[in-house]
Copies of this chain bind each other. A is one copy, B any other.
Amino acid sequence: MFDITLVQVFDFVGTLAFAISGIRLASAKKFDLFGAYVVGVTTAIGGGTMRDMMLGVSPFWMTNMFYLICSAIALLWVIVFRKLLVRQDNTWFLFDTIGLALFTVTGIEKTITTIGPSGEHFPFWTAIIMGTITGAGGGVLRDVFINEVPLIFRKEIYALACVIGGIAYYICHHLGLDSTLSAIICGITVVLMRLLAVKYKLHLPIIKGEE
């Protein structure tokens, strides 16, 4: 009971943080309210939608209004508290990180329990990729919509935290830990990687061009 509630709280604050990141970037580009909402929703649910379409199941938000309502709350929040958002940056960073961890776990677990359209099971490395897409894919779609080069391809260790969390899940799974414990260790790994990357300003090297 407590578990379910905690996951729901994480889902709520994570969705909120993802949507707010999209809405803030949309506001910097002078989007109207509708456009800002669409970018916010896309940031929040875009990764999971890509995952579900590749897995051959209906996108998760199509039968559950929760995510659209969260995104509407995010829009209201940005409108009402816009002058306070910068001061709230640490909180939103934390919520965004919680969301990233939860969405990674969700993506992994959905992939290993889903049976594909032709009856196939997916290998664990596909689950890690799907966890990463669930966590980081919405941000890529957000950046495509605001016509910028995706941030996670250039500047930050973000998707890599999902990949490493996914590998942690796999190791736990391989060692015979149960799925709840594996999920918790995976989530904590994602959060730690992200916090360490930001605290120590860790970046991946830029790939060098030919000239």
User: In the assembled complex, how far is the CB of residue A142 from the closest CB belonging to chain B, in whole angstroms?
Assistant: 12
Chain-B contact segment, one of A94-102, A113-121, A166-174, A176-184? A113-121
Interface size on A, residues (CB 8 A): 65
**A201 interfacial by beta-carbon distance below 8 Å:** no
Cα–Cα, bound, A100→B149 (Å)? 26
Establish whether residues A123 and B63, one from each chain, have CB atoms under 8 Å apart when the complex forms: yes
Given A35-B154, A207-B36: A54 and B63 interface contact (C-beta under 8 Å)? no
Contact among B58, B118, B140 with A116 in the assembled complex (CB-CB below 8 Å): B58
Chain B minimum-CB-distance residue to A116 = B58
Establish whether residues A120 and B207, one from each chain, have CB atoms under 8 Å apart when the complex forms: no
* Contact residues, A143-200 vs B (CB, 8 A): 144-150, 152-155, 157, 159-160
Cα–Cα, bound, A75→B120 (Å)? 30
Establish whether residues A209 and B24, one from each chain, have CB atoms under 8 Å apart when the complex forms: yes
Contact among B29, B145, B206, B210 with A30 in the assembled complex (CB-CB below 8 Å): B206
Chain B minimum-CB-distance residue to A160 = B34
Establish whether residues A58 and B58, one from each chain, have CB atoms under 8 Å apart when the complex forms: no
Establish whether residues A57 and B209, one from each chain, have CB atoms under 8 Å apart when the complex forms: no
Cα–Cα, bound, A65→B159 (Å)? 19
Cα–Cα, bound, A63→B120 (Å)? 8
Interface string of A30-68 (1 = CB under 8 A from B): 111111101100000000010001111111001101001
Chain B minimum-CB-distance residue to A58 = B116
Cα–Cα, bound, A86→B211 (Å)? 9
**A85 interfacial by beta-carbon distance below 8 Å:** yes
Contact among B33, B65, B123, B146 with A207 in the assembled complex (CB-CB below 8 Å): B33
Please, could you name 8 A-B residue pairs with CB atoms under 8 Å apart, sorted by A?
A: A24-B210, A27-B209, A35-B153, A57-B118, A83-B210, A117-B117, A145-B149, A145-B150
Given A28-B209, A78-B207, 6 new contacts (CB under 8 A) = A24-B210, A29-B154, A30-B154, A32-B207, A36-B153, A82-B208
